[in-house]
């Protein structure tokens, strides 16, 4: 039988692709891409002429069976997404899961991933972290997701759309302790890459300083909750910290 390769592609800078990724993309029989037009440009850049098929969240359940059939006939297939590592907030989970259940060989070809790129340069603790994907869009669900990390002692990482970054920072300012450290990492590996580190309130001010700052691709990182060994309930600590600015 053939192998399914999970191949990471760049998240901005076209040079962020490994030698092995290029070799695999050149030698497999089929490349399954999230968006064939988008990936066509990347493949053209590297002179790769492998047959391309579309596998995205809307056709994955149907396409999956076909891909598995091809693997069983002995063809090798590479899965790529529009950017970074497939399956990380991208299609591919049902396919990989089914391949594993069918005893097929699934091989990772690692490379760029926005979560790891943002974390390693953020200056936030890296010893323990959780990736939470995209935050919910609706206010209540978003507040619940943020309240859930109130006492989390690890760095929490989210993807966020540019049109929601301001609202999300305001929600963080409302839900979490005022001094909680956050990092906004934008346009990673691209010409206008930027990191902002501070409180949610300071991040909002930073956005206000230049309208351009709200545009682009964002990773949002929230530092670990401060250790609270005082015996005071976390809600009381939060209340006290929200009152601090009002004290003389
Ligand atoms: N599979 C990708 C990965 O490995 O990171 C993530 C795909 S997800 C659909 C796209 C989101 O990832 C964007 O909305 C943004 O939050 C984040 N992202 C991707 N590339 C980025 C970059 N160059 N800079 C900052 N964030 C990025």
Supply the pLDDT for residue 234.
65
Mind listing the pLDDT tens digit for each residue in 173-221?
A: 999 999 999 999 999 999 999 999 999 999 999 999 999 999 999 999 9
34 lines ligand 1 (CB under 6 A): no
Place of tokens 């001010």: 205
What ipTM, to 2 d.p.? 0.99
Do the strands 3-7 and 77-80 form a parallel or antiparallel pair, or are they unpaired? parallel
12 lines ligand 1 (CB under 6 A): yes
Neighbour count for residue 211 (Cβ, 10 Å): 8
Place of tokens 């192998």: 3
Mind listing the pLDDT tens digit for each residue in 121-155?
A: 999 999 999 999 999 999 999 999 999 999 999 99
The residue to mutate among 10, 39, 56, 84, having the most atoms of ligand 1 within 8 angstroms of its beta carbon, is: 84
At CA 167, angle to CA 90 and CA 224, rounded to 5?
70
Do the strands 155-160 and 182-186 form a parallel or antiparallel pair, or are they unpaired? unpaired
At 228, the pLDDT band (50, 70, 90 cuts) reads: low
173 lines ligand 1 (CB under 6 A): no
| 8 CA → ligand 1 middle, Å | 12
C-alpha to C-alpha distance for 172 and 142, rounded to whole angstroms: 9
Supply the pLDDT for residue 93.
97
158 lines ligand 1 (CB under 6 A): no
88 lines ligand 1 (CB under 6 A): yes
Locate 104 and state its tokens: 């097929």
Helices (H), the chain: 19-27, 36-45, 60-72, 93-101, 114-120, 139-147, 165-175, 200-209, 234-243
C-alpha to C-alpha distance for 95 and 205, rounded to whole angstroms: 43
Contact between 230 and 237 under an 8 Å Cβ cutoff? The reply is yes
């Amino acid at each position: 039988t053939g192998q399914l390769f999970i191949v990471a592609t760049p998240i901005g800078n076209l040079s962020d692709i490994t030698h092995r990724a290029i070799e695999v993309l050149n030698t497999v029989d089929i490349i399954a891409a999230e968006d064939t037009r988008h990936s066509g440009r990347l493949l053209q850049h590297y002179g790769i002429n492998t047959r391309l098929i579309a596998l995205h969240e809307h056709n994955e359940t149907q396409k999956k069976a076909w891909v598995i059939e091809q693997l069983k006939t002995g063809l090798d297939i590479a899965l790529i997404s529009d950017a970074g590592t497939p399956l990380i907030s991208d299609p591919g989970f049902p396919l990989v899961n089914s391949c594993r259940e069918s005893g097929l060989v699934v091989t990772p070809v690692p490379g760029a991933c926005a979560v790891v790129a943002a974390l390693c340069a953020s200056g936030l603790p890296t010893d323990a972290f959780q990736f939470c994907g995209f935050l919910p869009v609706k206010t209540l669900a978003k507040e619940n997701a943020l309240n859930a990390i109130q006492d989390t002692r690890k760095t929490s990482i989210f993807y966020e759309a540019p049109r929601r970054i301001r609202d999300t920072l305001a929600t963080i300012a409302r839900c979490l302790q005022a001094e909680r450290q956050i990092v906004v990492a934008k346009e990673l590996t691209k010409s206008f890459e930027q990191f902002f580190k501070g409180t949610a309130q300071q991040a909002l001010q930073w956005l206000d300083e230049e309208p351009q700052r709200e545009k682009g691709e964002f990773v949002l990182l929230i530092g670990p909750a401060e250790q609270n060994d005082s015996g005071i309930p976390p809600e009381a600590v939060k209340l006290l910290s929200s009152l601090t600015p009002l004290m003389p």
